[in-house]
Structure 1
Amino acid sequence: MADCLPFRSTGFFSDLISDYIEEKQNLKPFYNRFPSIEAFKSQIEEKSKSFNSGNRNALVEVLNAQYKDLVTSEATQQHIDLLQEGSTFTVTTGHQLNLFTGPLYFLYKIVSTINLAKQLKENYPDSSFVPVYWMASEDHDFEEINFFNFKQKKLKWKKEAKGAVGHLSTSGLEEVAKTIEKEFGTSDNAEYLKGLFKVAYLEHETLAGATQFLANELFGKHGLVILDADDARLKAKFSDHLKNDLLYHTAFRQTEKQADKLAELGYNIQVNPREINLFYMHDGIRERIVKQDETYHILETDFQFSEQEILDLVDKHPERFSPNVVMRPLYQEVILPNLAYIGGGGELAYWLELKSLFDAEEVTFPFLMLRNSVLLYSDKTAKKLEKLDTQIQDLFLTPVDLEAKQTRKNSSIEINFQKQKEVLAQQFEDLFKLATKTDQSFYGAVAAQEKKQKNGLDHLEKRLLKAQKRKLKDENERVLDLQRMLFPNQSLQERTLNFSEIYMEYGDQLIPDLLEALDPFQFEFLCLELNIYHTKS
């Protein structure tokens, strides 16, 4: 069972994203086309003409090499092979290499992408569509990815780390495995998850390798293709764009203009471009490239290059140049025959700054699709809500507003002085008619008295609400407890919980049920009731 509500009404999405989903006219210059199944026809035609077909061979070569040591499903291998063909396109999502997948929305991103590929194949049978998970292996924000939450505890990988996280050794994760052994329990589902963690992180040398294995285990049978774009063969196909950034600062000039326009429209800016939007990545470091006078410097190091030297380095060692958040989307669209990017609100916010950069670099701008967002709750929780006469949508209110709504609904006394306010308004309307016949001082006295009486009624209404809250405290607390459970730390469940907490009770039916329930074209927030099958403890 599922209920939907608009993203705006949840209170958890920015005006920028809500306006985009609602196709507000002022945002149309910031993207190519709004995603609909019909609009993909034009996107396919445009990408077919603009994509460099020579990039397909390198892409397939890299993917086959990266899958060499993985158990590759027939569906995934078929997708990799199909990428050689000019009628094959990708739809892509990306995510950091969070420990054990990180927040729950990792699943939703990939499920949305797999389902989009399926729907496109049904509607455009003459083409093929490959769901891709782009691993953010070149990120260096270790503190953002070195933990996951399980039952309100943070299970953290303690390690000194620098450079690209994909290169990090998995040493030290034995301690996390020991913690998991204690925390997860001994149910069948717990044993599966513990084994999955151990194989992924204790039998693979790097974080990139561990993440690739984990994502493949969860989604390989559904045809997901996992790409680590940290590869010299792929970056060689991007070398002209690397040089444009180094020499002409194209990304900076174009993105800054777009960001300024968004700011003028009253939106918050997600990212600010730099003059050079590349890092130098080599021998365990990933540091910014800056230009001072005529020399290119690598911050926090003694490395420096002349213009010719750094251009030669792009040709000889393109893998040493790592795109930042502004350039990464361009890199993705250059090396993939991609039609759509599926991401969260924060990601789409910075993509909306990039349209003019893509135009300047003559690269087709993809559809921007907001990933599915989901609140999962059990049938047991659904019964509690029904008993409390509460809708799941009510739990999106602030705790204060939720308590007030519950109190008003369950109070035996009507906590609404609207009738009294209407009577008061009529009385003062008569007084104001009388006041117009006398001097201004009397009119002012009537206005002051009206304000005082209205404030008095508002105050009494609040006092009555407060008194009834005390009287109905136990019943209200049961609803607030449900809210605290489903919205940990007053945040969306999907941004806090790890999939293991849901899988622990729901088991291997979780992903198939998500695949059945999530529609990438349903641009609303989904509240999904799961029928929990309890396993033996």
Structure 2
Amino acid sequence: MPTDCIPFRETSYFSDFICNYLDEKPELKPLYNRFPTLESFKAQIDEKSKSFNHKNRAILVDVLKQQYSNLDTSDLTLNHIESLNSNHTFTITTGHQLNLFTGPLYFLYKIISVINLAKELKNKYPDYNFVPIYWMASEDHDFEEINYFNFKGKKIQWNSNQTGAVGHFNTEGLDAVFNVISAEFGAGKNADQLKKWFKDAYVNHDNLADATRYLANQLFGDHGLVILDADDRELKRLFIPQMKTEMLAQTAFKHVSETNKKLEDLDLKIQVNPREINLFYIKDGLRERIIESAGEYSVLDTKIKWNESELLKHLDEFPERFSPNVIMRPLYQEVILPNLCYTGGGGEMIYWLQLKSNFEAQNVTFPILLLRNSALVKSEKQASKLESLNISNRDLFLKRNSFINKKVRQISNIDIDFSEQIKQLEQQFSALHELAEQTDKSFLGAVKSQEVKQIKGLKHLEKRLLLAQKRKLADQISRCTTLQEQLFPGQSLQERNTNFAELYLEYGDELIPKLMKALEPLKGKFLVLTI
């Protein structure tokens, strides 16, 4: 199973912000607690042990047992859940939306990252237990982001008029989607397994949260993954003190805004902006922001209102109706979990890096932040074609025009690269500039104008010759671009577009074990994998 690793920065698909974090740039160090190295986890264990409310463990275990009560659960997952009662057990967490049929491939990479890291930590620190957690974003309300998946260039979509937290959505209409995917997946053992998973998850369960839990358990239960739906009354009761502070003191707004200003001063693009109150109110298909004005609290675009004492009383009586937004969700996670590390994508890492000051204000330990594994998977047949066309792994990451231009120059029998001629021309005009300087400075403008004109002409000629060669070599270039499009659909990373079903059709039950064997969570590079 040949592999190749490419630094994230060299792929050109990751922001300077996240690459600077991976490079441990000094200006970003105040934004995180500890950098993700195997050795740094001991200090994180010690700090979390002192700060975590150990009484929360029993409630967490009870909630998980209830959520798993109707699932066929592996012994390893059951042992992981039971072990959370112990003060020597800690979690490694990733989170993801409830995307239809897992959405893009990186759903798998996130979960594999936390499973593999938990194993690696157990080997390093055998006196402790480490539980991989998938936190379902069941309270999210961006249905348009999750109601589809891509399959071989087609968008498989679930249409629904439901509103509110998506985890509450009933699965009505997904039987029609099942009919679509049955035709798309075709026949065969692997296709039948995919169809069974989809039907058992989405047709045979009543809501999207239960369907997603079932599917994730089918894919990763044997590897000990623990799936948590934190949209739970008893878990939210543990979060009441932090929610009170948020609503009364607007803590996140103050501290995250200060951090954002520092990031802007560093010319770094921020991911999220805090609101004065970073909590939603959810009830009966409603998920809307809580706002405050002149001491009165209300739910935006509704008639629901409270004064301060009424609000606090309502929070104590119905904590399940209060929902953290993107700013507060990480804090909620770290309050209810004995967590050491959060693993996420580049965008997630950036908004987590905005939040440390709010954690400090709320006296909650900030976790280690790990960029999830990223991978490009190619078949042996595709690898063979790449080799025959002399396309390197790094070539594949080039944007389309740069990729084509490089291949034209590479396979052309003439050298269409005028950089040397341009360099010589610049040297000649440098001498002319000196001559004009010594004779009559009024000619400097004319010399410069002529230099610009001639260099522009050379570049234009180079461009025209390249176009002519592209036409001449159209068949060869077409084979190259077709292959790049297969691996970078829509000129995007495969992992951000392709659904796991495409790979499972080809590799079947070997897919996840092969990915788990190849992905190393602490390696910090983009993996190119041939299966």
TM-score range with shorter-chain normalisation?
A: over 0.9
Distance 1:442 1:274, change over 3 A: closer
Letter of the 1:362 counterpart: N
Task: Report the equivalent of 1:271.
Answer: 272
Task: Report the equivalent of 1:33.
Answer: 34
Pairwise CA distance, 1:464: 2.3
Letter of the 2:151 counterpart: F
Letter of the 1:169 counterpart: N
Task: Report the equivalent of 1:533.
Answer: none
Task: Report the equivalent of 1:469.
Answer: 470
Distance 2:307 2:140 in 1: 26
Secondary structure (helix, strand or coil) at the match of 2:36 reads coil
- CA deviation vs aligned residue, 1:295-349 (integer Å, no higher than 9, x gap): 2111232211121111111212111111111000000000000000000111111
Secondary structure (helix, strand or coil) at the match of 1:38 reads helix
Letter of the 2:503 counterpart: I
Pairwise CA distance, 1:445: 4.1
Task: Report the equivalent of 2:148.
Answer: 147
Moved over 6 A (4+): none
Pairwise CA distance, 1:432: 4.4
Letter of the 2:280 counterpart: F
- CA deviation vs aligned residue, 1:96-135 (integer Å, no higher than 9, x gap): 1111111111000000010010000011111110000000
Distance 2:500 2:480 in 1: 24
Letter of the 2:271 counterpart: Q
Task: Report the equivalent of 1:459.
Answer: 460
Task: Report the equivalent of 2:396.
Answer: 395
Task: Report the equivalent of 1:479.
Answer: 480
Pairwise CA distance, 1:169: 1.0
Structure 1 window deviating more from structure 2 (481-490 vs 357-366): it is 481-490
Task: Report the equivalent of 1:535.
Answer: none
Letter of the 2:8 counterpart: F
Pairwise CA distance, 1:423: 4.0
Structure 2 residue 104 is the aligned partner of structure 1 residue 116: no
Task: Report the equivalent of 2:53.
Answer: 52
Distance 2:363 2:95 in 1: 22
Distance 2:399 2:328 in 1: 38
What count of residue pairs does the alignment treat as equivalent? 530
- CA deviation vs aligned residue, 1:467-508 (integer Å, no higher than 9, x gap): 222221111111111111111111111111111111011101
Letter of the 1:171 counterpart: E
Task: Report the equivalent of 2:167.
Answer: 166
After TM superposition, list the pairs within 5 Å mapping 1:82-101 onto structure 2. 82-101=83-102
Secondary structure (helix, strand or coil) at the match of 2:230 reads coil
Distance 1:155 1:428 in 2: 59
Pairwise CA distance, 1:158: 1.5
Distance 1:82 1:486 in 2: 41
Distance 2:511 2:316 in 1: 46
Secondary structure (helix, strand or coil) at the match of 2:38 reads coil
TM-score, with length taken from structure 1:
0.96
Aligned partners of 2:162 and 2:285 also within 8 Å:
no
Task: Report the equivalent of 1:2.
Answer: 3
Distance 2:332 2:435 in 1: 75
Task: Report the equivalent of 2:255.
Answer: 254
Letter of the 1:402 counterpart: F
Distance 1:331 1:361 in 2: 11
Aligned partners of 2:236 and 2:319 also within 8 Å:
yes
Pairwise CA distance, 1:416: 2.3
Task: Give 5+ residue unaligned stretches, structure 1.
Answer: 531-537
Task: Report the equivalent of 1:412.
Answer: 413
Secondary structure (helix, strand or coil) at the match of 1:456 reads helix
Distance 1:297 1:429, change over 3 A: closer
- CA deviation vs aligned residue, 1:244-281 (integer Å, no higher than 9, x gap): 01111111111111112111211122111111111111
Pairwise CA distance, 1:440: 2.0
Letter of the 2:78 counterpart: Q
Distance 1:117 1:60 in 2: 19
Distance 1:492 1:442 in 2: 52
What percentage of residue pairs aligned between the two structures are identical? Answer: 58
After TM superposition, list the pairs within 5 Å mapping 1:176-195 onto structure 2. 176-195=177-196
Task: Report the equivalent of 1:201.
Answer: 202
Distance 1:33 1:50 in 2: 16
Distance 1:145 1:267 in 2: 28
Distance 1:452 1:136 in 2: 58
- CA deviation vs aligned residue, 1:225-246 (integer Å, no higher than 9, x gap): 0001111111111110010011
Distance 1:35 1:56 in 2: 25
Pairwise CA distance, 1:434: 4.0
Structure 2 residue 282 is the aligned partner of structure 1 residue 281: yes
Structure 1 window deviating more from structure 2 (463-472 vs 20-29): it is 463-472
Pairwise CA distance, 1:431: 4.0
After TM superposition, list the pairs within 5 Å mapping 1:123-522 onto structure 2. 123-522=124-523
Distance 1:423 1:176, change over 3 A: closer
Secondary structure (helix, strand or coil) at the match of 2:150 reads strand
Distance 1:299 1:232 in 2: 23
Secondary structure (helix, strand or coil) at the match of 2:98 reads coil
Distance 1:424 1:313 in 2: 77
Letter of the 1:117 counterpart: A
Secondary structure (helix, strand or coil) at the match of 1:79 reads helix
Distance 1:474 1:291, change over 3 A: same
Letter of the 2:121 counterpart: L
Distance 2:335 2:524 in 1: 27
Letter of the 1:155 counterpart: I
Distance 1:422 1:271 in 2: 45
Distance 1:63 1:432 in 2: 77
Pairwise CA distance, 1:202: 1.4
Secondary structure (helix, strand or coil) at the match of 1:39 reads helix
- CA deviation vs aligned residue, 1:78-98 (integer Å, no higher than 9, x gap): 111110110110000000111
Secondary structure (helix, strand or coil) at the match of 1:163 reads coil
Distance 1:426 1:206 in 2: 71
Letter of the 1:6 counterpart: P
